[in-house]
Amino acid sequence: MFSGGFDSSAILGSALEAGLDVVPVWIDNGFNRVTEKDIRQQAANMGCYNLEIIRMQPHQNVLKNPVDRCYHCKGQIIHPVISRKDAPVFDGTNASDSTNYRPGVKALRKGGVKSPLAELQITKEQARELAITLGADPVIANMEGCLATRFNYKVEITTEKLNILREIEQYILKTTGDHHLRCRLDDEDHLRIECRSQAAFLKLIEPEFREKIVKTGKQIATFVTLDLEGARKNAFDKKLGL
């Protein structure tokens, strides 16, 4: 299960280094921040040219965005791979992930997917170092991310909203280089931008740049806001008490 990020790149690079017959599979369900071109390039960076791409539409129980959205989503995207039953399936879940709310991990375990990084207690930072050592491009790896996590729970996920959030993130990211940037939809009225770098904060207060962001954001929300706390782990999970 190859996403192009540091974790799955560490798995792919290690498998190739060990001389294993491995096939990276990328699932394109419309939630990705990376593009097909990015994914193909990252696989090639690792020395792998047999990338397989599977495209699918998310199920309605995913788009309705319940608190266990990731369980349903992960179950859907692993199904076409685990159903082959001809080889073990690996993903990049790492040891650091076990400290967060991860309903998707439950689906992985139910489907028999193995997570070598987690099993070997390799943290996210260690996986990052390993991936870069094995050839991963950090620029592409930093682009990896699921845009479904930008939606507060129970806010319905639609193609229009996804495209707007992706457009805003790409515009700010390409201008400022802030890969920690997150553009979140708190509810039907509030679109909130989280960023980390000083360059991003400063750019977002420039009148012309800000006007373009606001105009784009108002296509799906009444208010377009800047979060002064900055980029951080998904705060939507905190209200779940997890």
Last residue of a domain, one of 142, 165, 191: 142
* pLDDT tens profile 173-208: 999 999 999 999 999 999 999 999 999 999 999 999
**49: Cβ–Cβ under 8 A, 6 or more apart, which residues?**
43
Q: Compute the Cα dihedral for 45, 46, 52, 57 and give only its sign.
A: negative
What's the CATH code of the domain at 228? 3.30.70
Question: What is the mean predicted confidence (pLDDT) over 50-66?
Answer: 96
Is the domain of 12 the same as that of 130?
A: yes
Element (H, E) at 236: none
Number of separate domains in the chain: 2
Residue linked to tokens 């790492």: 94
- 51 and 84 share a domain? yes
pTM of the model: 0.91
Neighbours of 162 (CB within 10 A): 21
Among 85, 109, 142, the domain boundary falls at 142
For residue 1, being part of any structural domain is answered with: no
Last residue of a domain, one of 113, 142, 171: 142
> Has residue 127 got a pLDDT over 80?
yes
151 lies in the same domain as 121: no
In which element (H, E) is residue 190 found?
A: strand 190-194
pLDDT digits (tens, 9 = 90+) for 113-125: 999 999 999 999 9
121 and 97: one domain? Answer: yes
Q: Which two tokens stand for residue 80?
A: 């076409």
Q: Is the pLDDT of residue 86 over 60?
A: yes
pLDDT of 210 reads 96
188 and 69 assigned to the same domain? no
Q: Are 153 and 64 in contact (CB under 8 A)?
A: no
Task: Determine the pLDDT at residue 241.
Answer: 65
Owning domain of residue 65: 6-142
Q: Does 55 reside within a domain?
A: yes
Helix ranges restricted to H, the chain: 6-17, 36-45, 60-63, 69-82, 103-110, 116-119, 124-133, 138-143, 159-176, 198-204, 207-217
Question: Residue 177 falls within a domain, yes or no?
Answer: yes
Task: Assign 237 a pLDDT band (cuts: 50, 70, 90).
Answer: confident
- The mean per-residue pLDDT over the stretch 14-24 comes to 96
**Phi, psi (rounded to 5 degrees) for 191:** -105, 125
Separation between Cα atoms, residue 215 and residue 208, nearest integer Å: 11
Residues 122 and 28 in one domain: yes
For the chain, the first-to-last Cα distance in angstroms comes to: 26
Q: Is residue 35 situated within a structural domain? A: yes
What pLDDT, on the 0 to 100 scale, is given for residue 119? 94
